[in-house]
Amino acid sequence: MKGEFSLETKRVFVAGHRGMVGSAIVRRLASENCEILTAGRDVMDLKDQAAVRAWFAAEKPDAVFLAAAKVGGILANDTYPADFLYDNLMIEANIIEAAYRTGVEKLMFLGSSCIYPRMAPQPMREDALLTGPLEPTNEWYAIAKIAGIKLCEAYRKQHGSDFISGMPTNLYGPGDNFDLQSSHVLPALIRKAHAAKVAGDSTVQVWGTGSPLREFLHVDDCADACVFLMKNYSDAGHVNIGSGQEISILELTRLVCEIVGFEGEIVTDPSKPDGTPRKLMDSGKLLGLGWKPAIELRDGIATTYRSFLAEYA
């Protein structure tokens, strides 16, 4: 269903504005005539229900982008299941309930493509949700994100709240986490290939077999899709946000090495987990509403590498 929501002169709270997605949403909102509200950890701990309620009661935002989350790559997800489940449940429950209590007109919750069953038919449609077992390396994070979708649906059903959910595919871009233990694959490969080039190493190592397939979307495209959905979509069902660009981890490594300028050998490490074998989303629902991505993977990696060099190297 199409809805129409104007951001014009609205007070718009971006929860998670220091993260990769939240900061991209803040950048994107700069071209809307709205007032952007943010709150750092020093102001409000999003896991603290009383603090979140008090902040919402005082600031009274009109719209909310819920981009705050405990996130990480395959190893972090697998190593800290309690943090990924508890932190994300608390953050989303506190914000959604406070938004309802203070009469927020529209809220957009952001999830992840890992909500779908490990062996879901590809490309994964929205109706694949809860049709089979989850991928074990990230089921804790996935359960929390599924709860977030269901919270939005429940508040819509019981209270008529205009709360929607978007499910981005694997994201990358400026502001990403480049820590090798906790990052996702793309920032890890950029950092490893760069370090190998600088050190004159003959090899670069990738985790797992290199055969898993992943779909990647630049975070600025994701932010644009979020603003588009905020303005144009008002319904109970969540919406996939993907690029349709799928690539194997090995091919991705070759592409990153080419962009970074590392000419050595790529070595796989099968002792590390592969995770889900394939994770391509069907974004037909979003495309059907009239949105499409703009950033090609090669160009997106090149600009991300430049931002990595500016910030870290």
The residues that touch ligand GFB, with contacts defined as CB under 6 A, are 73-74, 77, 112, 114, 137-138, 141, 170, 183-185, 188, 206-208, 212, 214, 249, 272-275
Q: Which residue is nearest to ligand GFB (CB)?
A: 73
Q: Which is nearer to ligand GFB, 15 or 204 (CB)?
A: 204
Q: Which is nearer to ligand GFB, 177 or 303 (CB)?
A: 177
What whole-number distance in Å separates Cα of residue 230 and Cα of residue 6?
A: 9
Active site residue 312: no
* Helical (H) or strand (E) element with 267: strand 265-269
Tokens of 214: 């992943």
- CA-nearest of 126, 106, 113 to 34 is 106
Q: Which is nearer to ligand GFB, 135 or 162 (CB)?
A: 135
3 state DSSP class of 289: helix
Q: Which is nearer to ligand GFB, 12 or 259 (CB)?
A: 259
- Whole-number CA gyration radius for the chain: 19
Tokens of 201: 């190493």
Sign of the dihedral through C-alpha 140, 116, 214, 268: positive
Q: Which is nearer to ligand GFB, 38 or 182 (CB)?
A: 182
| Least distance between ligand GFB and beta carbon 300 (Å) | 15
* Cα–chain center distance at 291: 18
| Least distance between ligand GFB and beta carbon 83 (Å) | 12
SS (H, E, C) 221-262: HHHHHHHHHHHHECCCCCEEECCCCEEEHHHHHHHHHHHHCC
| Least distance between ligand GFB and beta carbon 217 (Å) | 10
Q: Of 141, 155, 172, 305, which one is the catalytic site residue?
A: 141
| Least distance between ligand GFB and beta carbon 106 (Å) | 25
Q: Which is nearer to ligand GFB, 173 or 212 (CB)?
A: 212
Q: State residue 122 phi and psi, 5-degree precision.
A: -105, 145
| Least distance between ligand GFB and beta carbon 63 (Å) | 25
Q: Do 80 and 29 touch, CB atoms closer than 8 A?
A: no
CA distances from 244 to 30, 77, 241 (A): 27, 24, 9
Q: Do 206 and 249 touch, CB atoms closer than 8 A?
A: yes
Tokens of 104: 């927020």
| Least distance between ligand GFB and beta carbon 256 (Å) | 10
Give catalytic residue positions: 141
